[in-house]
Amino acid sequence: MKKYKYHFLTWGGFYNEEYKNIHKFEPGDYLFDTLQEREEKIKTLEKVCKDLDARTLCISRSEGFNCDVRTVAHRISEFEGNQYYSSNDLGVNYPFEVATYIMEDKWYPGFNDYPLGEDFNYDQESFKIVSEWITGAMEVYKIRE
């Protein structure tokens, strides 16, 4: 059975090499069993940021039964009868709408997706995208009160 979890994602200038060498914290996803644990960790990061006069500590919070599930964009491409799978791990609890935007407008074969290598010419007519999909824990809306 899934357990209700508390999550935050952190990134920003606070993790630049000069600060990171001092504070030793890593950017990324953090999961906690209680709200109190999560908030204590965030307070610690904010205090260190303030003490170092570091710039830009970004934090995004979420919670729920599926906030530990990664959102992944998947793609199957085809060239000369051969199919190639590629994926783009967008992180924990990434919103579906943003994942769709990234897949449609920001994740291009030959730009930041290289199923046939970086030197391949992805503009060839014989190269095509066969299928794309997104997996993960998408937002759940209340149906009944």
- pLDDT by residue, tens only, the chain of 145 residues: 788 999 999 999 999 999 999 999 999 999 999 999 999 999 999 999 999 999 899 999 988 888 888 899 999 999 999 999 999 999 887 888 888 999 889 999 999 999 999 999 999 999 999 999 999 876 544 445 4
Rounded distance between C-alpha atoms, residue 26 and residue 88, angstroms: 21
46: left (phi over 0), alpha (psi -120 to 50) or beta: alpha
Sheet holding 58-64, edge to edge: 28-32, 5-11, 58-64
Rounded distance between C-alpha atoms, residue 89 and residue 85, angstroms: 13
CB 7 within 8 A of CB 31: yes
CA-to-CA separations, 43 to 29, 40, 46, 96, in angstroms, rounded: 16, 5, 5, 29
CB 29 within 8 A of CB 67: no
Residue ranges of domains in the chain: 5-64, 70-135
Q: What is the pTM of this model?
A: 0.74
